[in-house]
Amino acid sequence: MRLRVAVITVVGVAALAIVGAAIWRPALSPVSVPSGFDPALVVKGSQLAAIGDCAVCHVGRDGQAYAGGNPVQTPFGAIYASNITPDPSTGIGTWSEAAFRRAMRDGVDRAGAFLYPAFPYNHYTHVTDADLSALYAFLMTRQPVPAPTPANRLLFPLNIRPIMAGWNLLFLHQGPVPTDPSQSETWNRGAYLVEGLGHCEACHTPHNVLGAEETGHAFTGGVAEGWEGPGLTAATSPAAVAWTADAIDRFLRQGIDNGHAAAAGPMGLVSHDLSGVPEADVRAMASYIASLTSAPDPAHEQQVAQRIAAAQRPPAALDGTPGATIFAGACAGCHGAGAPMMQAGRPSLGLSSAVTAPTPRNATQVILHGLQPQPGEAGPWMPGFAASLDDAQVAAVLSYVRARFTDRPAWTGVEESVHQIRQDKPS
Amino acid sequence: MIVLTVNNIRHELEIDPATPLLYVLRDTLGLHGAKYGCGLGQCGACTVMVDKRAVFSCLTPAAVLEGRQIKTIEGLGTIEHPGPLQQAFIDEQAAQCGYCIAGMIMRAEALLERNPSPTDAEIRAQMQPNLCRCGTHTRILAAIHRAAAVTRAAALAVPATQEAAR
């Protein structure tokens, strides 16, 4: 009996020790805000930060760069992006480079608390030491903004941070992005940027019930922040005509490719950031992404061109439907044959992935909330129709556009989907 | 036949249901406040209110408006008795050529009806879609602040009279 108690005690203590070791991370000593960085390193860091889209999530509530406080909506609740300016009390001013590296690689903050993978450390973990040093130099030379980060609003038990130790055990795969010697240097550079800092999979890969990217389904399409990240693989890309490296390069740097569509939603911010990145790096990302999809097929492209030419005329079969009436009064001024925008060479709706996609989600977002370039900058623009069209009217025009401009099957449950997307916060 | 309710008056209209509201207002109903600027929803000169929200009337087909409340600048006041926003725009001399002003006032009206005490940032965010080629934006902003202040002061001073006037 005594022996049994002793054994149970020993096993229990050992188990506690193992669990404790698994979930305990030491605080790393605070430092005074470092300075004296090489300006060239800071510039390199600024370009890497743009590839990593840091500014998109870590925007301040009043728009100050990197001040944090922006709620990132996840299926598990809202996670507030933290203040990553070098403010010593509310930002990362007391973080050593080792602490910064640990956050990026392991998803653990300076004080030893686990971070949530809304911060995509499962991708940033692949970033090289040299690039992390440059990012650190860049962030530590930003304007410090005192701005406390609000507390997250997460469902129990996910609000208990040590739980993320288990998530990391399952889903955090550290180490460099493997090099493929059979591919070009450009392709390998692209693979490093896309899989690492670019964290493209965070939106373009489906997530499992634990919020992790599904293994074996990379780049087959996901949903994030209310928008669909379309599939990028040959089997899953909704594109009417295949994307080439040139087209992807244009889309990433300019936010629009006239053979496909304009970048919208979170992708609009991504392309805005990538416009300031060295062209060779965007070219490399485009080269890698193009290799995921199928090669262009001239015969198929000709068929698509013919169908789009035929769609210039409103089809008689849809005449007099509510969708046709709304399209004529609300959309045709820009998207109809001969409209000034079409004369300027902008893509036909039949080429838009939002219209050819398996679900009407992205097209709904664009119709409700429009497309706006960053304040003060030029770019594709569309007014939102949330105030003038009700759910049934948006659904009618969606179904009309789908039928007129594509050969894809009709969407189902469109009105319910519009209703749901309208309730969600626009992002 | 399309039935539209504009400034609380019901109109039975024999029109093409795809006709944008702007043309119905100007050509059929003779309400010339809302202006044609771009026809693309890019300038805001055509802005009117539908169910308390600002919309571009140039891109709103009549067919989607049955059973909804349309309000135009003619519904805010008259030359003899301008509404608070109209008076504030006059007091601040916010119009230069004036082409954008009816749209500006209607977008501002939509804001003040739901938020009588907007911050400057809220006003700027609301007014963002409307353009003024003359560049009188600072006076337009001042006029909206003035209208909000005047309306608040009036509500505080004589709440009963204010209610009666409505």
Digit-coded pLDDT (tens) for A264-297: 999 999 999 999 999 999 999 999 999 999 888 9
SS3 category, B43: coil
Positive or negative: CA dihedral A163, A165, A226, A417: negative
- Mean pLDDT on A401-424: 96
Interchain proximity B59–A388, CB inside 8 Å: yes
**Comparing C-alpha atoms, which of A124, A253, A100 is closest to residue A192?**
A124
Q: What is the mean pLDDT of residues A135-153?
A: 96
**In the prediction, which pLDDT does B155 show?**
84
The count of structural domains within chain B is: 1
B113 belongs to a structural domain: yes
Give me the mean pLDDT over the A297-313 stretch: 91
| Mean pLDDT for the stretch of residues A203-216 | 95
Which residue of chain A comes nearest to B48, CA vs CA?
A388
Nearest-Cα distance to chain A for B50, in Å, is: 7
pLDDT value at residue B163: 53
A354, A261 contact by CB (below 8 A): yes
Q: What CATH code would you report for A308-423?
A: 1.10.760.10
B125 in any annotated domain = yes
Could you tell me if residue B111 is inside a domain?
yes
Is 60 exceeded by the pLDDT of residue B53? yes
d(CA A65, CA A145): 9
Q: Is residue A80 within 8 Å of A69, Cβ to Cβ? A: yes
Q: How far apart are CA A236 and CA A353, in angstroms?
A: 11
Q: By C-alpha distance, which of B2, B123, B143, B3 is closest to B54? A: B123
- Mean predicted confidence (pLDDT) in B23-43: 97
**Residue B11 pLDDT level (bands cut at 50, 70, 90):** very high
- Check CB contact under 8 Å for B17 and A385: no
Indicate the pLDDT class of residue A4, thresholds 50, 70 and 90: confident
Chain A, 24 to 63: residues with Cβ < 8 Å from chain B are 62
Is B8 within a domain?
Answer: yes
What pLDDT digit, counting tens, does each position of B102-147 carry?
A: 999 999 999 999 999 999 999 999 999 999 999 999 999 999 999 9
B27 in any annotated domain:
yes
| Residue A334 near chain B (CB below 8 Å) | yes
Place of tokens 């439907």: A321
pLDDT tens for each residue of B59-72: 999 999 999 999 99
Residue A427 pLDDT exceeds 50? no
| Residue count of chain B | 166
Mean pLDDT throughout A365-370? 97
Phi-psi region of B146 (alpha: psi -120 to 50; beta: other; left: phi over 0): alpha
Dihedrals phi, psi of A374, to nearest 5 degrees: -60, 145
Residue of B nearest to A370 (CA): B41
Q: Which two tokens stand for residue A143?
A: 């304007």
Nearest neighbour of B53 by CB, restricted to A328, A334, A387: A387
Q: What is the mean pLDDT of residues A303-329?
A: 92
Q: What is the CATH number of the domain that holds B47?
A: 3.10.20.30
Domain membership of residue B37 (yes or no) is yes
Instruction: Tell me the shortest Cα–Cα distance from B70 to chain A, in angstroms.
Output: 11
Residues on chain A touching B66 (C-beta within 8 angstroms): none
ipTM for the predicted complex comes to: 0.90
Q: Residue B16 belongs to what domain range?
A: 2-159
Q: CA–CA separation, A166 vs A186, rounded Å?
A: 36
Is B165 within a domain?
A: no
Report the residue of chain A nearest B64, measured CA to CA.
Answer: A389
Q: Which residues contact A418 (CB under 8 A, 6 or more apart)?
A: A360, A364, A368, A391, A394, A395, A398
Q: Using one digit for the tens of pLDDT, what is the confidence trace for A35-92?
A: 999 999 999 999 999 999 999 999 998 889 999 999 998 889 999 999 999 999 999 9
| pTM tops 0.95, yes or no | no
Burial of A240 per CB tally in 10 Å (0-12, 13-18, 19+) = buried
